[in-house]
Homo-oligomer: A and B are copies of this chain.
Amino acid sequence: MRIRNRALADKVVEAEEAAAMIEPGANIGMSGFTGAGYPKEVPGALAKRLAAEAAAGQPAKVSLWTGASTAPELDGVLAAADGIDLRMPYQSDPVSREKINSGAMDYTDIHLSHVAQRVWQGFFGELDVAVVEVSGITEDGRLVPSSSVGNNKTWIECADKVILEVNSWQSEHLEGMHDIYYGTALPPRRRPIPLTHPADRIGTPYLECPPEKVVAVVRTDSPDRNTVFTPPDDVSRAIAGHVLDFLDLEVAAGRLPRSLLPLQSGVGNVANAVLAGLREGPFEGLTAYTEVIQDGMLELIDSGKLLTASATAFSLSPAAVDRFNRDAAAYRDRIVLRPQEISNHPELVRRLGCLAMNGVVEADIHGNINSTHLMGSRMQNGIGGSGDFARNAYVSVFVTPSVAKGGAISAIVPMVSHVDHTEHDVDVIVTEQGLADLRGLSPRRRAELVIDKCAHPDFRPALRDYHERALRSSFGGHTPHLLAEALSWHQRYLDEGTMRR
């Protein structure tokens, strides 16, 4: 029995009926974070309706706010229907990406920790509707969150009306795993957030929602967008090796405790390789304070090395989901899912002293990072939470293979074509070639290190040549640059399909 509250059970309707309650032009807050916990049916019904209205000569769009990325059944269908006016704060959908880069859709790419306060603050306009997936409803009408929390607390609080999707595919054992903190406020009424350890529970396991706000409840039984796990390859294993050696050295130098500090890690190959390395490494009693629980995190819990993982969402492969669902009750003691304003909160990331590890699109020789734009103009996904963690981390590490597109693109360039993380926020850059510890170094020294340690050997001579000529001819010598040439590698790629000369 997923819907244990009588009044809300009476509001069960089909998705089409729920979608009909959303006005064209509405601002909509939907659940969903990295393909977990997004509504599965109402978005599709809404997309159909918007497409039909457009076909009838009455085109209408909505503004779509989520936790982070979702799935084809949400971002994909609404983008394909040309139904989105403004999208925020993060997406990774191919259809949506095309619309953003063709100018058909506006996208505002903001720090994930900033979203809740920005919406609450009100300058995005009123939030008309919240569409939130939950895994159940209690007798007294409280909501059991689903496989992600994201901004759901904020959407439900701010929206005029709430549409719930109750997804019986989600494990019933999710109940009790979440920690929804209701203590945030707008200034001047903010108080310290009383969290000092990743395992701390400072809120309640349920989302609270006045029943009169709920205008519709839709039953679903559909899996999250779980992506198949790609095992680490040689490149990601090499990167992970450098990261683990670095952690070893930091512990040996007395700069990190033997249990390290709370880990924050992006998703994907390299992250999984690092987590696999930690499983076999010397560190015990680990914790994670991060955005997403991926396969490697679950395995690290299984190994006994990771005691607690705090996040805002799962991002698991189908195989890992099966394992999680079998043992959800046991994992409940090890995992806490929180709103993203808490999982990514600068106050907490700084206090806990996270070890941040994030991927990049490209890095430059002086240690600036581009996380979002291909060739300076084409939005890939978005900054997500990387800035929340990188700025406030105890050590901020960025990882990337040294080349892309079969070697045509160097991930290390003279000057990044877009900056998401400035030199001030980047401590360590790692590729399969090696690791550059940039802390405390001037840009000139950083350049030497990044070229020697991180660049692919095929691109090293050209980078050295650029740097040496810049040292001689740059206007200023603090961050030597030749402006007429600084972005020429990108231009060459656009003109010739390769950065190679």
Give A residues with C-beta under 8 Å from B: 86, 88, 100-103, 106-111, 114, 117-118, 121-124, 186-188, 190-194, 196-197, 253-255, 257, 261, 345-347, 350-353, 368, 373-379, 383, 387, 391-392, 394, 415, 417-424, 439-442, 444-445, 470-471, 474-481, 483-484, 486-488, 490-491, 494
8 contacts between A and B (CB under 8 A): A88-B440, A123-B440, A345-B350, A346-B346, A347-B350, A375-B476, A376-B483, A377-B483
Q: A352 — which chain B residues lie within 8 A by C-beta?
A: 187-188, 190
A36 to B471 alpha-carbon distance, docked (Å): 35
Q: A379 — which chain B residues lie within 8 A by C-beta?
A: 476, 478-479
A494 to B475 alpha-carbon distance, docked (Å): 8
A122, A253, A417 interface centre (most CB from chain B within 10 Å): A417
Q: A111 — which chain B residues lie within 8 A by C-beta?
A: 424
Q: A481 — which chain B residues lie within 8 A by C-beta?
A: 376-377, 417
Inter-chain contact B118/A439, CB cutoff 8 Å: yes
Inter-chain contact A346/B477, CB cutoff 8 Å: no
A240 to B117 alpha-carbon distance, docked (Å): 26
Q: Which residue in B109, B194, B494 is a CB contact (below 8 Å) of A424?
A: B109
The 6 residue pairs across chains A and B that have the minimum distance between CB atoms: A378-B476, A187-B353, A379-B478, A192-B192, A419-B419, A377-B476
Inter-chain contact A440/B86, CB cutoff 8 Å: yes
Inter-chain contact A439/B187, CB cutoff 8 Å: no
A394 to B470 alpha-carbon distance, docked (Å): 39
* Distance in Å: Cβ of A204 to nearest Cβ of chain B: 20
Which single residue of chain B is at the shortest CB-CB distance from A490?
A: B483
Q: Which residue in B108, B187, B486, B488 is a CB contact (below 8 Å) of A261?
A: B187
Inter-chain contact B440/A475, CB cutoff 8 Å: no
Which single residue of chain B is at the shortest CB-CB distance from A107?
A: B442
Q: A368 — which chain B residues lie within 8 A by C-beta?
A: 419
* Distance in Å: Cβ of A435 to nearest Cβ of chain B: 14
Which single residue of chain B is at the shortest CB-CB distance from A354?
A: B187
Inter-chain contact B101/A478, CB cutoff 8 Å: yes
Inter-chain contact B187/A108, CB cutoff 8 Å: no
* Distance in Å: Cβ of A28 to nearest Cβ of chain B: 15
Which single residue of chain B is at the shortest CB-CB distance from A471?
A: B103
Q: Which residue in B353, B417, B419, B422 is a CB contact (below 8 Å) of A483?
A: B417
Q: A422 — which chain B residues lie within 8 A by C-beta?
A: 383, 387, 419-422
A439 to B108 alpha-carbon distance, docked (Å): 9
* Distance in Å: Cβ of A15 to nearest Cβ of chain B: 29
Inter-chain contact A441/B373, CB cutoff 8 Å: no
* Distance in Å: Cβ of A23 to nearest Cβ of chain B: 20
Q: A394 — which chain B residues lie within 8 A by C-beta?
A: 117, 121, 187
A377 to B467 alpha-carbon distance, docked (Å): 12
A345 to B347 alpha-carbon distance, docked (Å): 9
Q: A415 — which chain B residues lie within 8 A by C-beta?
A: 376
Q: A418 — which chain B residues lie within 8 A by C-beta?
A: 479
* Distance in Å: Cβ of A305 to nearest Cβ of chain B: 17
Q: A101 — which chain B residues lie within 8 A by C-beta?
A: 476-478
Inter-chain contact B477/A377, CB cutoff 8 Å: yes
A488 to B486 alpha-carbon distance, docked (Å): 11
Q: A192 — which chain B residues lie within 8 A by C-beta?
A: 192-194, 196, 347, 351
A194 to B351 alpha-carbon distance, docked (Å): 13
Q: A346 — which chain B residues lie within 8 A by C-beta?
A: 346-347, 350, 391-392
Which single residue of chain B is at the shortest CB-CB distance from A392?
A: B346
Q: A114 — which chain B residues lie within 8 A by C-beta?
A: 424
Q: A121 — which chain B residues lie within 8 A by C-beta?
A: 255, 394
A374 to B474 alpha-carbon distance, docked (Å): 11
Which single residue of chain B is at the shortest CB-CB distance from A87?
A: B442
Q: Which residue in B347, B441, B470 is a CB contact (below 8 Å) of A351?
A: B347
A357 to B347 alpha-carbon distance, docked (Å): 21
Which single residue of chain B is at the shortest CB-CB distance from A494?
A: B475
Q: A111-B424, A440-B123 are in contact. Are A378 and B475 (CB under 8 A)?
A: yes
A353, A418, A423 interface centre (most CB from chain B within 10 Å): A418
A121 to B253 alpha-carbon distance, docked (Å): 10
Which single residue of chain B is at the shortest CB-CB distance from A89?
A: B424
- Contacts A106-B445, A376-B476 known; 6 new A-B pairs at CB < 8 A: A106-B444, A190-B196, A190-B352, A376-B475, A377-B477, A483-B494
